[in-house]
Amino acid sequence: MKKWYHQYFRGVKPLMTYEILVWLVYVCIYKWATFAEETHVPRLRTNFPMPELILYAIGTTLYIIPYYRWIGAKLLEKRRFVWLFFVTILYFWFVPKYCSYVVASVFQAVSHNPLTIPFYNSQVRMFERLIFAPQLQLQFLLTDMMAFFSVMFMRYATQNERKRSNLEKEHLALQLDTLKAQLHPHFLFNTLNSIYGMSITGAKDTPAYILKLSDMMRYILYDCRHHAVDLEKDIAFLDNYMQMEQKRYPAAHIDFQMPATPIPAISIAPLMLIPFMENVFKHGAHRVVDDAFIRGELVVNEEELVFELENSVMPVTPMQRGPYGGVGIENVKKRLALYYPNRHRLQIEQTDTIYSVHLTIQLKA
């Protein structure tokens, strides 16, 4: 609930603040000051703040709320630009002067202030002429349109950005589900084969590896359903995965240093590091060469996470060389850009014999 509230009001709060400022600065101050400076009521400006005149300024501006909140906003959202053009002309040709006439008549009837009664009388006479004349109310029409069109377009832009962000997150969530689905079968089968071999030889640590596998599958199935998980759990999953693969390739020179200090209580997007580790064991030279190596380090503190990994690869000809990592790495890049914009640095280098990854994530915004 708290996360949803934050996502929804992240764009709404600044928009509401801007809209309130338009009403305060433009309507309650600018229009009030203009009314107070009317030449036929010279003493109004000496009776600041004249709350009655502020209410009059607000009343004569209420007509624009249905337009920028609903009519124009809906047409703009549906991209009916031709309709928006003609509806705008018709709306601002008729509605402002009729609304202002009604408001001026109401204030003329209820006002008992000798300073404002002549002002309301003049306003009523002016709007009576405009109602039956084929012309616009130009006194505040253009400034009203400029002020509140900006609110309408800001609302439109904010809604589009929120929709785009939600679609992108949903797309990446689907990609994460795909990544987990890809990780399940071949990892599960390979690990079960390794545990099966251990059980045949009577290895004493077979139950421990069965327990590790159970923990890993539970993490994938349950914890990774959320957008963020405990960093400690994600690192534990990575450690278990590495130990499982190390058991499969006992001849490989594997040296990966996990954090020695207690892991801080920080959340991270799930399965962000595992594609790199998976590719190491999937494409590394250790599968066919006994003296191949895999080495790296994971360093974590309250501020950042640093992940370094490199492995030896089989020499390939220029015709054989292709992208290393494929969909999994591209998925990580997109998720990093979404969840850690301007807070991460990813460097991937590949030579004929070595593939290396250096990833830094700023954990606190």
334 and 218 co-located in one domain: yes
Domain boundary among 139, 155, 186: 139
Domain boundary among 139, 160, 180: 139
Evaluate whether residue 148 is within a structural domain.
no
Domain boundary among 139, 157, 178: 139
238 and 342 co-located in one domain: yes
CA atoms within 13 A on the CB side of 294: 25
* 201: CB partners within 8 A, 6+ apart: none
| Residues 80, 82, 83, 86, CA torsion sign | positive
Per the CB < 8 A criterion, the answer to whether 56 and 107 are in contact is yes
Instruction: Report the chain's terminal Cα–Cα distance, integer Å.
Output: 21
Q: Give the separation between CA 9 and CA 14, rounded to whole angstroms.
A: 9
Strands (DSSP E) along the chain, which ranges?
Answer: 229-230, 253-257, 267-268, 293-300, 304-312, 344-350, 354-362
What pLDDT is attached to residue 169? Answer: 74
CA atoms within 13 A on the CB side of 193: 9
Q: Give the separation between CA 71 and CA 86, rounded to whole angstroms.
A: 12
258 and 336 co-located in one domain: yes
Closest C-alpha to 139, from 60, 69, 62? 60
Evaluate whether residue 291 is within a structural domain.
yes
Evaluate whether residue 151 is within a structural domain.
no
Evaluate whether residue 154 is within a structural domain.
no
Q: How many domains does the chain have?
A: 2
Evaluate whether residue 150 is within a structural domain.
no
Integer angstrom CA distances of residue 233 from 84, 97, 262, 299, 311: 53, 65, 12, 15, 25
294 and 350 co-located in one domain: yes
Per the CB < 8 A criterion, the answer to whether 180 and 224 are in contact is yes
113 and 199 co-located in one domain: no
Helix (H, G, I), strand (E, B) or coil at 264: coil
What pLDDT is attached to residue 6? Answer: 45
What residue numbers bound the domain in which 124 lies?
Answer: 2-139
Tokens of 297: 């380090």
* Backbone φ/ψ region at 202: left (φ over 0), alpha (ψ -120 to 50), beta: left
198 and 329 co-located in one domain: yes
One-letter identity of residue 354: I
Q: What is the CATH number of the domain that holds 251?
A: 3.30.565.10
The DSSP output letter for 45 is G
Global confidence as pTM: 0.55
Evaluate whether residue 208 is within a structural domain.
yes
117 and 180 co-located in one domain: no
Per the listing, tokens 């109602």 go with 131
Q: Enumerate residue ranges in the chain where pLDDT < 50.
A: 1-9, 39, 317-321, 324
247-265: per-residue pLDDT in tens?
877 778 889 999 877 888 8
174 and 258 co-located in one domain: yes
238 and 112 co-located in one domain: no
What pLDDT is attached to residue 335? Answer: 83
106-135: per-residue pLDDT in tens?
999 998 888 788 889 989 998 888 887 777
Evaluate whether residue 285 is within a structural domain.
yes
What pLDDT is attached to residue 152? Answer: 94
281 and 186 co-located in one domain: yes
Q: What angle do CA 127, 130, 135 make, to 5 degrees?
A: 145
116 and 174 co-located in one domain: no
Mark 19-45 as b/e (b = at least 16 C-beta within 10 Å).
beebbeebbbeebbeebbeeeebeebe
Phi, psi of 289 (to 5 degrees): -125, 130
88 and 201 co-located in one domain: no
Evaluate whether residue 71 is within a structural domain.
yes
